[in-house]
Amino acid sequence: MQLRVREAGPEDHTAISVLLVSAFGQPNEARLIEALRHSGHTAVELVAETEGGVAGHICLSRMEAPPGWLTLAPVAVRPPDQGKGIGGELIRHALDHARQRRARAVVVVGDPSYYHRFGFVFGGAAELTTPYPVEYTGLYPIDPATARARVALAYPVAFERA
């Protein structure tokens, strides 16, 4: 299987919406992405293409606080292509983009056993106040000072409405 990861463009928006609804079985994530685009919070949006079209999508959004922090949500892979490493490739590419753009840190809310393999730390030295379950909130510190940060995470309003 040939896989190409690239930045998403407006021509991909319909395929991304279809993919998100298919992967999650409901429209909340598609609505979230549309709201993040509309509000200008999208920092990095990537798609993974195979010979069958858009097979995966990932988004990094700018946090309201702290400055320079991003959040990874959502990452999705077309159901027939799940389990083939596409999600992992998208995460690695997104984190590389975050480093290149000099983000200070990336946070994710998800399964610690999955995200730990990409360098996310759950329950580490950082003290994060979050509206989501802290045990599922992972930190990928790019700036070394963020590994011990004591901060309140403020997500874009779009997350409250999704």
- What does pTM read for this prediction? 0.95
Exposed, middle or buried, 17 (CB in 10 Å: 0-12/13-18/19+)? middle
Half-sphere exposure at residue 131, Cβ-oriented, CA atoms within 13 angstroms = 9
Q: Check residue 128 and give its pLDDT.
A: 95
Q: What is the mean pLDDT of the chain?
A: 96
Q: Which fold has domain 4-161?
A: Aminopeptidase (3.40.630)
Q: Check residue 52 and give its pLDDT.
A: 86
> What is the domain partition of the chain in residue ranges?
4-161
How many other CB atoms are found less than 10 A from the CB of residue 143? Answer: 13
Using one digit for the tens of pLDDT, what is the confidence trace for 78-104? 999 999 999 999 999 999 999 999 999
Confidence of residue 161 (pLDDT cuts 50, 70, 90): confident
| CB contact set of 30 (below 8 Å; sequence gap of 6+) | 16, 17, 20, 21
3-state secondary structure of 104: coil
Using one digit for the tens of pLDDT, what is the confidence trace for 10-21? 999 999 999 999
* Nearest by Cα to 44 from 20, 64, 74, 85: 74
Q: Is the pLDDT confidence value at 162 over 90?
A: no
